[in-house]
Structure 1
Amino acid sequence: MFTILIADDEPMIRKGLQKLIQQSGQPVASLRTAENGADALQQIREERPDFLFTDIRMPKMDGLELCRQVAELELDIHVVVVSGYNDFEYAQKCLSYGVKEYLLKPISKKTVDAVMVKLAIMHAKRQPQTFVSVQRLETWVANAEEAIWSLKHDALQELLNQARSEINGYRMRLHQLSELLGEISELLNRRLNIRDIFSFTKRLELQDVTNEEEAWSRFEASLQLLFQELKQRRKGKLKDPVEEAKHYIEDHLAEEVSLEEVAERIGLNASYFSQLFKQATKETFVQYRTRRRIEKAKKLLAQPHYRITDISGEVGYADHPHFTKTFKKYTGVLPSEYRSQLGIE
């Protein structure tokens, strides 16, 4: 099953090519589209496709620059350049970036079918290394253990960057990457527990990740959490960062507290904290905060002496109309209607 990305700034071209690829008879697992090269590059970094179809002339980042950057990433993507006759010479410059197939506009079903067959054959001949040797795995785990146990944050971050760069070169599917990162996490916890000083029990959950970026973010967040947990244990101040964040949010529901502010308070990088919080609560920071605000508002609405306009301020909404709109979105009724349902006039 192939994963494909189409980059073209013309909606009709994107939709037409998308339809022709789907009708090509080749097995397609996913087919995404991008409006320009910059959008395409971002999507490639989040989840690497098998095949990339790109137009030459696009705003923000043209096809030539996209091909150049894809080549620099060394992601082993089969690239097909889509160009008009006037752009053909320009498109040939992509040869130096590993492009081997072209589609000339206007695109026909016959040419798309032929290109898809060629791509399928090239894909089948490719023999990527999709496994990591036991020795390499043990080296990563040992280095990570040393960095965490010695509380060397810079060394841990450097190791994460190196491991990510190296593993990306193995051309793994998402499930293979998830299994590998899960295995590294499990081995690391085991090695830290062998020291028999502190117990580390939290498991890395990757079953529900939807792309490579999310898998890496969760993995990195788990290592950062191990680092912070060990640091806090040695200070005799072990706290669950998510629970600590929840308490802080609860105490400041009337204020516009940001994710960055909470992350700084508990001593975690904002991006790591964001992933950790979502993993633990199954909600984003904003979703959790909004839900808790609405739940508090419902409790206050049950008390007749509170005016609805005062309640909106109590739960962090200076703009009363915004509060009523959000309340209805979450409960299906306006605050006044909710209060009426309770028999309070």
Structure 2
Amino acid sequence: MNILVVDDEDVIRSGIERTIKRSFPEHRILLATNPAEAIQQLNSEAIDLVLTDVRMPGMTGLQLMEISRRSHAHVKWVVISAYSEFAYAKEAVHLGAKEYLLKPIGKDILISMISKLGDEIARENELSKDVYLLKGNLRFLREAVFARWASGLDLGGIDLKPFIENHPYFQLLMIKMESDLDVRVEHFIVENVLTELIESMGRGFVASIDGKSLLGLVTLSEESSMHQLVEQLRSHLKRYVKAPFQVLHTDRISDFAKVPAEVQSMRKASASTVYDHYASGGGQSIEVAFQYIKTHFHTELSLEKVAAIVYLNPVYFSQLFKQKTGSGFKEYITHLRLERAMELLRTSDLKITDISERVGYPDMRHFSQIFRKKNGNTPSEYRRCMSEIHSVEHL
């Protein structure tokens, strides 16, 4: 039996590992210091039993259990917590936990529990291992075929009738994440959350298009709506996913042959769709970016440079910036520079060459062209006009 122990405290992890190894040397013990590591272990190893702490940085043990139970339905769960956290017991039982242990964990209690669950898992493995593997392989085959078809690639003669028969009409959802970091954990979370929502509101499945994009096919029940599904999906993902994401969907489709074109259309729409905010605080980063721009607008500024300063992906930063300001990054910088230039033309005797440099345009000719395009006159004409107005006001 493969047992995964998930706890951010070294003493707890190593204590559980020692106790189990001494009494059950035949069992294999794997360790994870946080839920992200646990998800990677669940995806790469044949885990039978998980012992998880409740309170851990980033995600609770119950959240880990909730997002993993769909993909790893055969896994048994045991939840561990301090006495002060006993209120979690009810939720743990609701999620299907086999046991709920309080810290400090008694050795006899732990050994007894491992013995009991080990026998239960052994019996179930004998009965269902082959069936589980067959169902899993068929699911992966179906999703791989669908992902290939949706991407417009040749299927090599594979029959699509099973898809068409089970879904005479359906809708598609695309979830796309935007991050320069490894999003394998987020990918796993999205797949599980969306699969569970689809099964609760109709029927369908989820396929991976690439490392950052997933595609769901759903035939909704009569009382369910796509708007309802999308809102629930966004709510769950904002809670669990630590990367910017966007959700796109189609109208009802009844012709399976249209899937590749619909997917291509969603990909194009993705370029102009704003990414949802996420836990790291994109809004606060934009405020920092504003302060930096106001202080450095006279220097050479690029979207990529400012995005890097606030640790955001350039694509996400660009869309979030436009959402906040109503204008693009370049347009905003130009407006800021010209506002400052007009102020200097009105209130100072600086040469236009000096003003041009002070607002971030070392080439005065280029500055004059931009100024005229935005204001309808040249910097010299603007200064003269402002001077005449000022003279009239003082008569």
Same fold (TM > 0.5):
no
TM-score normalised to the size of structure 1?
0.39
Structure having the higher Rg: 2
TM-score normalised to the size of structure 2?
0.34
